[in-house]
Amino acid sequence: MELEDAIKALPKAEHHVHLLGAIKPSTLMRAITETGIDSPYESIDDIERAFEFKNFAHFISVYKQTIDLITEEKYFEPMAYELLEKSKECNVKYVEISFSAPDHTRAGLDFELMMKAIERGVSRGYSDFGVKADIRIDIVRSYGLKSAMESLDLIESRPDGIVSIDIGGSEKEHPPEPYSVVYDRAREMGLHTVAHAGEAAGPHSIWGAVKHLGVERIGHGVAAIHDETLMTYLEEKGVTIESCPVSNVRTKVVSSLREHPIRTFFDRGLSLTVNSDDPTFFETDMNNEYIQLNQVLGFTLQELFQISLNAIQCSFIDEATKQRMDVEFRNEYSRVLDAIEM
């Protein structure tokens, strides 16, 4: 077995992947043609060309445009199913799928119907591919506190399969501190907590998320590299960074993968995982993320496997499942090593 094949064979878990960002161009094109909605895209090629981003702001504009093209709840079922199909190809065993529900409820779609569609996709994906998935609801900070609380009301009305909340949207325009009351309520509801921070804003955004929101994990966290005290704090408190290397390069958050801080974070002993973020938009998947870390930043097979193990330990699953998956991962890793040595 060659090294690249060994990397692909590593068991993996993913925490930071947006459902809409994983939509296949063919599925988006089907949604456009079946509903007859006005669209700038006349073909799958048009869609693929649109996903070549100039910068982070351009990415956000295309993402918002894609939101507007999903006008029926039923399309979330194939999105979820196809996401897990791709996860199987990358030997991902467990996924926490991020769903920005307010983006769609504000456009008139029904939360209950969307969640049922996602659940159907998740259920079929588990049946066909053996990939387990839970849901994270991104409350989207850009819509304000009232909307965030309404999102919690919706979660409370049907909590099945939802394990955590996140706060996406504009870091610069909407700092995390005002959302402390939302996160306090989420914890009272038994939800885990995550926040996008340090992607499009500086270390202060991460400080706000960990100090005022009390999050367990930080999405992206790139800006932590500029604050030595912050890195020490994250390490001591065990706050996990959900790193999305290829995404950060594609949106120009970092100039190149070689400049990405994940190597420094790992070497310092920070808790981190590796994730594809918006795999369709960024032409990536979990295999590619791992391979790029190996080829560009020199992560060894053992180090990549350590990231996989950490992803299990940081997952929002029960301890018994963590222990079982830890054993399964170690057994698979042993088989990979045996295949290399043969």
**Given 171, 199, 242, 289, the catalytic residue:** 199
Q: In 10-51, where does DSSP find H-type helix?
A: 25-35, 44-50
CA angle 81, 102, 127 (to 5 degrees): 15
Q: Does the annotation count 199 as an active-site position? A: yes
CA distances to 99, 115, 143 from 164, in Å: 11, 14, 19
| 59-63 long-range Cβ contacts below 8 angstroms, 24+ apart | 59/250, 59/251, 59/281, 62/281, 63/20, 63/21, 63/278, 63/281
In whole angstroms, what is the distance from residue 2 CA to residue 340 CA?
Answer: 7
Instruction: Tell me whether residue 227 is exposed, middle or buried, using C-beta atoms within 10 angstroms of its C-beta: 0 to 12, 13 to 18, 19 or more.
Output: middle
Pick the closest to residue 138 from 220, 59, 223, 196 (CA basis): 196
Contact 197, 165 (CB under 8 A): no
Residue 99's DSSP bridge partners are: 137
In whole angstroms, what is the distance from residue 74 CA to residue 120 CA?
Answer: 10
Residue 162's DSSP bridge partners are: 135
Catalytic residues: 199
